[in-house]
Amino acid sequence: MWPFVRKRPSGFFSSSTAEEVTRGIYGTGLTAIITGASSGIGTETAQVLALRGVHVVMAVRNVSSGNAVKEAIVKEIPTVRIDVMELDLSSMASVRKFALEFDALNLPLNILINNAGVLATPFSLSQDGWELQFGTNHIGHFLLTDLLLEKMKSTSRKSGIEGRIVILSSEGHRLTNWDGVRFDKINNQALYQSYLAYGQSKLANILHANELARRLKEEGANVTANSLHPGLIMTNLFRYQNSIINGNLLLLLFPLLLFGTSTKQLSNLGAATTCYVAMNPEVKGVTGKFFKDSNVCTPSSQALDHELAKKLWDFSMNIIQA
């Protein structure tokens, strides 16, 4: 551990790895869905949870890539249980198909990790007609969570084990429009700025987690919902960066993304906070919080706006029920 890093409440730091934050934790009997598990942080998360005995369902857009990752993990850890299933979060039809196919497996669901995402894409629309980053990062995951929520509640009731919903956001949520979510301008191409749109989608992730946590707590469900900023690793999330942003914007954004994140064992570091929130006993009963470096962190004032969270919830419900 770095000697100059001050002690954190959890005992973990920006230099803690995913394996460290889950050491001594056994997930045998648990089932987790991880979206975007065929690359980057999603792959590392899948590997570490599988290492701890969790039955991992990799929800991926590219099934062949997912199977290649599965084979690599199984080769390293032969006893793991991993399934690969197709999921395209930019399509509500694909999300609904995934939920039906998962339900047909008759598996429990203890952990849902909404990890997948796109960053700073050129302006385009999802298959359902929404700006791609908002449609994929927020709406796709909002629908997926809604469709799987009863399964998670049922699993927690039958098992007595707390269900955990983990929604990956980003420190990039701080870099967005002054009014937060521009409900009436989401699809306005003339006003589109890729990184502000990304920030808007990541702000929506935190607002979703917070409002979901409030509702679950209100009904007494044994399921928590939290959001987090993961560590940064250079994955295909950044596949659009060279063509659409210049060095000045990188300098503006990267301090938000990189602050407090060491390059030591970078791939495993990236998944540490996700694995901590998903599995560590210290997080039991904690809900509606934003995590960074495996510790609770204060997000932007917009992310803490309860009225904005409720408005986004109603707006999103109208979309998925249309």
Q: Which residues are catalytic, by number?
A: 192
d(CA 155, CA 30) in angstroms, rounded, equals 10
d(CA 276, CA 52): 12
**Tokens matching residue 24:** 């001594």
- Pair 159, 110: CB distance under 8 Å: yes
The alpha carbon torsion through 135, 312, 252, 9 (nearest 10 deg) reads: -110
Any idea which residue has 């954004």 for tokens? 253
3 state SS for the chain: CCCCCCCCCCCCCCCCCHHHHCCCCCCCCCEEEEECCCCHHHHHHHHHHHHCCCEEEEEECCHHHHHHHHHHHHHHCCCCCEEEEECCCCCHHHHHHHHHHHHHCCCCCCEEEECCCCCCCCCCECCCCCEHHHHHHHHHHHHHHHHHHHHHHHHHHHHCCCEEEEEECCHHHHCCECCECCCCCCCCHHHCCHHHHHHHHHHHHHHHHHHHHHHHHHHCCCEEEEEEECCCCCCHHHCCHHHHCCHHHHHHHHHHHHCCCCCCCHHHHHCHHHHHHHHCHHHCCCCCCEEECCEEECCCCHHHCHHHHHHHHHHHHHHHHC
